[in-house]
């Protein structure tokens, strides 16, 4: 039986690596200095390098089910995504953090179903998206809105990381909320000024997260259409 993975590894060494050899060796000699932390769903159809045109050394990547950001609680534990956020901000000094959800997300759809009983970690992980759930039947439109609302919730949770908040308020770090529509080949970027996601092909920027455009004292949900704001912020958003 052919070993397809082995074939691909060999192809990397013989066909692809030579094209990038100088770049990789430079990245080893001088270290990595990625400008961007990309937090994306693990979905195989989401290909960050294709979307962003990034190459070696460009993206510090974290992927998990749903593109969720765990809360900053400072507790000891095996918090892979939280550790990556701390490392990207404190050690790598990234200037951008992208949270990228996508259409047809199984993690978001699972919020409307009972998770498998033998998946305790998945069950608790999905809690990080529950605030995005709408009190409706999960049709295509509701799922799309849930996916987008979840992106906003994760951005907001990012702002609870002290090192993120401090840098965003100093304008050293920008947060970007993206929703990738797989079948359309379009990334919709969150526009804080309108509280809407807008197609990147029509947008004037690559997605403005919570505090990149607003002053540090201005809660960004004030300007968001209440229909799009996460449930917990509708009242506060006034």
* Distance in Å, CB of 99 to Zn ion, minimum: 12
What are the angstrom distances between the C-alpha of 143 and each of 86, 106, 148, 186?
A: 30, 10, 9, 17
Residues 95-124 that bind Zn ion (CB under 5 A): 105, 107
* Distance in Å, CB of 191 to Zn ion, minimum: 22
* Distance in Å, CB of 168 to Zn ion, minimum: 25
The nearer residue to Zn ion, 107 or 207, going by C-beta atoms, is: 107
Q: Which of 36, 43, 84, 159 binds Zn ion (CB under 5 A)?
A: 43
The nearer residue to Zn ion, 99 or 105, going by C-beta atoms, is: 105
The nearer residue to Zn ion, 190 or 220, going by C-beta atoms, is: 190
What are the angstrom distances between the C-alpha of 166 and each of 83, 129, 174, 192, 212?
A: 17, 25, 11, 19, 12
DSSP 8-state secondary structure symbol assigned to residue 230: -
Q: Residue 135 has which token pair?
A: 């009190």
Q: What span, in angstroms and rounded, lies between the C-alpha atoms of 164 and 156?
A: 11
Name the one range near Zn ion by CB under 5 A: 42-50, 82-90, 177-185, 205-213: 42-50
Q: Which of 37, 41, 133, 189 binds Zn ion (CB under 5 A)?
A: 41
Q: Residue 122's CB: how many other CB atoms inside 10 A? A: 14
Name the one range near Zn ion by CB under 5 A: 43-51, 78-86, 169-177, 224-232: 43-51
* Distance in Å, CB of 129 to Zn ion, minimum: 10
Instruction: Give the DSSP per-residue string, 156-223.
Output: HHHTTSHHHHHHHHTTS-EEEEEEEEGGGTEEEEEETTTTEEEETTT-SSS---TTTSS-TTS-GGGG
User: Residues interacting with Zn ion, by CB under 5 A?
Assistant: 41, 43, 105, 107
């Amino acid at each position: 039986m052919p070993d397809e993975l082995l074939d691909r590894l060999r192809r990397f060494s013989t066909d692809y690596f030579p094209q990038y050899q100088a770049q990789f060796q430079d990245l080893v000699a001088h270290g990595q200095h990625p400008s961007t932390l990309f937090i994306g769903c693990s979905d195989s159809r989401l290909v960050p390098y294709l979307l962003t045109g990034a190459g070696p050394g460009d993206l510090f990547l974290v992927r998990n089910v749903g593109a969720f950001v765990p809360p900053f609680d400072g507790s000891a534990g095996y918090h892979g995504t939280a550790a990556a956020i701390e490392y990207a901000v404190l050690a790598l000094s990234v200037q951008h953090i992208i949270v990228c959800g996508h259409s047809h997300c199984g993690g978001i759809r699972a919020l409307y179903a009972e998770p498998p009983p033998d998946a305790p970690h998945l069950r608790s992980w999905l809690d990080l998206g529950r605030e995005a759930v709408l009190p409706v039947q999960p049709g295509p439109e509701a799922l799309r809105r849930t996916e987008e609302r979840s992106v906003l919730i994760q951005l907001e949770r990012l702002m609870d990381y002290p090192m993120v908040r401090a840098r965003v308020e100093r304008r050293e770090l920008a947060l970007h909320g993206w929703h990738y529509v797989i079948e359309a080949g379009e990334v919709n970027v969150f526009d804080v000024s309108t509280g809407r996601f807008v197609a990147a092909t029509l947008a004037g920027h690559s997605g403005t997260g919570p505090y990149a455009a607003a002053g540090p004292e201005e809660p960004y949900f004030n300007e968001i259409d209440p229909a799009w704001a996460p449930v917990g912020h509708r009242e506060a958003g006034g």
